[in-house]
Structure 1
């Protein structure tokens, strides 16, 4: 497919996602990072009739998009404790059948996760290349944000977990050294075998805990996050925003207070110009 066809697919997905989930009466909206978000902001600008909406970007690029669209950005750390974002829009590097995502190709994964977890619902927008049944099918690695001092230790630990050749991400000019995130941390890209879904484990396709060389999405994310020196893992899985809120309301799990990482819906712009919607109920 040509670059123009891919861009058209991104725009179609963004337009449909914003049409379905952007409410002009919102007070706070999260704006993620990446090439697809350009079209999300474009669509919001077309539909927004409320100049008082505050937009929370996940990095420098998304902040500039918000400003250039004439919208009002605020930083994440200025949000009052009791304020939830009405919705957060973001892209993904790959999405599986259970709506788990890999993110971090653009090195903004920590702030993207902060915003996703603060949203009542996270809506993912992507093109057809990101639509897979399992993570690490086409996208090759799990991006991991690490403290510079710990990067060698983390790389060694990732190898013990089964990653083949985890690599420190460098800038486009390799002589300039490692790429640094907005937090002045490094990114390690860790290849693993294709990750299992929870359905795969239930079906006996692998243990999913690394003991037989297979990892389930949530299990590998937890194992990597537990390594000292890791700030965040580029896997968005577990609860969705509404599921986290339901647990908070029932007061059954203090862990739910972190919020949801998994999107409630993923919009894939297809090569033929159509848009496919994937939710926990399936795809249409």
Structure 2
């Protein structure tokens, strides 16, 4: 019974439910590390609710996923779970190996039970912007191979509409020789401005794990994301966009008060 108790307590509350009134009182408890605590709790709850024995898991990228992988590794040790992990990036691969989890790939496991990943922004319909860390193509491939795509985030990523809080634009992975034509085509078709992402600690552009460049498209007044996503992908030279439309089944948000809420697709 003791092993089962955390799982019974882990379901949390639907977003917007009764925990909110205590938020102001409890906020001080997490000052300084509030965001990290929110990420940790969201990551732990997602793992506790969706990871089971004999699964093939997709492991996403980014800071929130570090906590999820910590939790997976602990449960593998404590419960002797038999799982394999497919990474979405070099970072995710290293996390899997550091925690001595079983590393696999889509050649051996093309059908995944669950993929767990973070997001840069989540709108009210569970559409996502991803790719702030540059791994959008592999993240989308892995998510697309999963029966269930689960997202973990902190309260800062929750928006009514995309672009409300995330101001760095939609990441778009492009073939290097095409980045100028793609930049011009996006601006001509949809407005805004697409800029080549430059590296912080080296001269020149960011290069993805696939050897491509990334454009960050800062958009204006877009609402029909499904058609915009398809149209951008049809531009020659575009590899993938950071728009994850109708893909997430559930998003867990770690809140400022230390609680976690979740929102399901089409449940609102």
Shift in Å at residue 279 of structure 1?
A: 0.6
Asked if 1:69 corresponds to 2:96, the answer is no
Q: Contact between 2:75 and 2:81, CA under 8 Å: does it hold in 1?
A: no
Number of paired residues? 236
User: Which residue, 214, 217, 238 being the options, matches 2:225?
Assistant: 217
Shift in Å at residue 25 of structure 1?
A: 2.8
Structure-2 separation of matches of 1:75 and 1:119: 13
Scaled by the length of structure 2, the TM-score of the pair is: 0.84
Asked if 1:117 corresponds to 2:144, the answer is yes
- The structure, 1 or 2, with the larger RCO (C-alpha pairs under 8 Å, 6+ apart) is 2
User: Which residue, 231, 239, 256 being the options, matches 1:271?
Assistant: 256
Q: How does 1:144-163 map to 2 (within 5 A)?
A: 144-163=172-191
Asked if 1:231 corresponds to 2:239, the answer is yes
Q: Secondary structure at the match of 1:115?
A: helix
Moved more, 103-112 or 130-139: 130-139
Shift in Å at residue 3 of structure 1?
A: 4.9
Q: Secondary structure at the match of 2:115?
A: strand
Structure 2 equivalent of residue 256 of structure 1: none
Shift in Å at residue 280 of structure 1?
A: 2.3
Shift in Å at residue 73 of structure 1?
A: 1.1
CA distance 1:194–1:45, shift in 2 (3 Å): farther
Question: What do the CA deviations read for 1:41-68 (whole angstroms, capped 9, x no partner)?
Answer: 0111122234642100001111111111
Structure 2 equivalent of residue 185 of structure 1: 212
User: Which residue, 37, 52, 72 being the options, matches 1:8?
Assistant: 37
Shift in Å at residue 30 of structure 1?
A: 0.4
Q: Contact between 1:225 and 1:231, CA under 8 Å: does it hold in 2?
A: yes
Structure 1 equivalent of residue 166 of structure 2: 139
Return structure 1 stretches of 4+ with deviation > 6 angstroms. Answer: none
Q: How does 1:26-65 map to 2 (within 5 A)?
A: 26=55, 28-48=56-76, 49-50=79-80, 52-65=82-95
Q: Secondary structure at the match of 2:57?
A: strand
Q: Contact between 1:154 and 1:229, CA under 8 Å: does it hold in 2?
A: yes
Q: Secondary structure at the match of 1:144?
A: strand
Shift in Å at residue 223 of structure 1?
A: 1.0
Q: Contact between 1:136 and 1:194, CA under 8 Å: does it hold in 2?
A: no
Structure 2 equivalent of residue 25 of structure 1: 54
In the alignment, structure 1 segments of 5+ residues that lack a partner are 197-215, 239-261
RMSD: 1.6
Q: Secondary structure at the match of 1:56?
A: strand
Structure-1 separation of matches of 2:232 and 2:32: 35
